[in-house]
Amino acid sequence: MAVRGTLDDFKARVQADFARPNLFQVDLTFPQSIITNTGLTELGKFTVRAANLPSSTMGVIEVPFRGRVLKIAGDRTFEPWTITVMNDSKFSLRTAFEVWLEAIQASNENFTAASGLGDDQDATGYFSDMMVHQLSRDVKDGENPKTLKSYKFYNVFPSNISAIDLDFGSNDAIQEFTVELQVQYWTPAEE
């Protein structure tokens, strides 16, 4: 028999608060050989207005057997990660992403300025790792908010920097642009 439940029952089952979609922080990390301004990481913590927690998809292989289908796990894929950035008047982050794209492949020829993909020991490539943190509402004694959950995105690179719409009628608005980042894979990060 199903229990109807009351508001008090619901509250008793949820012993902590709920996560809020507006409490997050993104740690942008640019390839060291391409972007040397370390201040961009701090700027990104405040000007990335929207992001998402990652998604991934498990493919399905359907194996036919005597009129039935056995479904087994296929390959796991990772969707691109999109962030929305509030553009500062110096175009700091926009310029950094444009320089990153230009290093991956030049605008006017089919060459790259990056010396490879790079890895943990080799910071000369165009891959970089980034993180997103879900923050708690709990702040006690002036401390920083507690991190509820973090995800680390491995070997990312930008594949699309969106247009910025200019419009005489856009009053009382801040310029924004989105960046689509390709992700090799992600993992929940240990806190």
Write the pLDDT tens digit of every residue in 81-103: 999 999 999 999 999 999 999 98
Instruction: Please report whether residue 158 resides in a domain.
Output: yes
Query: Which of 91, 86, 95, 82 lies closest to 36, judged by CA?
Result: 95
pLDDT for the residue 122: 52
Burial of 130 (0-12, 13-18, 19+ CB in 10 A): buried
Phi, psi of 82 (to 5 degrees): -115, 135
Query: Which of 149, 128, 122 lies closest to 53, judged by CA?
Result: 149
pLDDT for the residue 38: 80
Cα maximum dimension of the chain: 70
Indicate if the pLDDT at residue 14 is higher than 60: yes
| Integer Cα distance of 79 and 82 in angstroms | 9
Instruction: Please report whether residue 66 resides in a domain.
Output: no
Instruction: Please report whether residue 64 resides in a domain.
Output: no
How many structural domains is the chain composed of? 1
pLDDT for the residue 58: 95
Phi, psi of 84 (to 5 degrees): -115, 125
Any idea what the CATH number is for the domain that residue 169 is in? 2.30.110
Indicate if the pLDDT at residue 124 is higher than 80: no
Question: Which of the two residues, 53 and 114, has the higher pLDDT score?
Answer: 53
Instruction: Please report whether residue 162 resides in a domain.
Output: yes
Q: Could you tell me the residue range of the domain that residue 84 belongs to?
A: 20-52+73-189
Instruction: Please report whether residue 68 resides in a domain.
Output: no
pLDDT for the residue 140: 66
- Tens digits of per-residue pLDDT, 142-169? 777 888 999 999 999 999 999 999 999 9
pLDDT for the residue 125: 80
Instruction: Please report whether residue 159 resides in a domain.
Output: yes
- Tens digits of per-residue pLDDT, 29-54? 988 888 888 888 889 989 999 999 88
